């Protein structure tokens, strides 16, 4: 029971951590000070983590970390989009 609560807290904090950065990037329309490696490495680690959780059938981990994974995809997409936009100016 305690482990499930900790998984939920972990997933929630992981998601909450990303939301301010997504919002700030959206408002500034810029990612010039952010290394592309940060969201890329986060994406790869999330993907591996979720894949391992699915393989071992730990559905509580999968459920609690889907939203942070989606937040990471959004942030990675922002980084790619705004970098390309800046290069085309």
Looking up residue 20, the CATH number of its domain turns out to be 1.20.1280.290
Tell me which residue of 48, 34, 47 sits closest to 86, measured CA to CA: 34
Find out whether 74 and 22 touch, Cβ atoms under 8 Å: yes
Beta-carbon contacts of residue 70 (< 8 Å; ≥ 6 apart): none
Angle at which helix 59-87 crosses helix 37-55, to 10 degrees, equals 160
Query: Looking at the 3D structure of the chain, how many domains does it have?
Result: 1
pLDDT in tens, 10-58: 878 887 888 999 999 999 999 988 899 989 999 999 899 899 999 999 8
For the entire predicted model, the pTM comes to 0.84
- Domain around 54: 2-87
pLDDT in tens, 49-88: 899 999 999 888 888 889 889 999 999 999 999 999 888 8
């Amino acid at each position: 029971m305690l482990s499930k609560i900790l998984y939920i807290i972990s997933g929630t904090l992981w998601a909450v951590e990303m939301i301010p950065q997504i919002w700030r990037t959206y408002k500034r329309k810029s990612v010039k000070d952010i290394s592309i490696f940060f969201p890329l490495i986060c994406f790869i680690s999330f993907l591996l983590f979720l894949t391992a959780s699915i393989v071992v059938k730990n559905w509580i981990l999968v459920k609690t970390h889907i939203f942070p994974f989606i937040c990471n995809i959004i942030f990675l997409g922002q980084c790619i989009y705004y970098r390309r936009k800046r290069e085309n100016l």
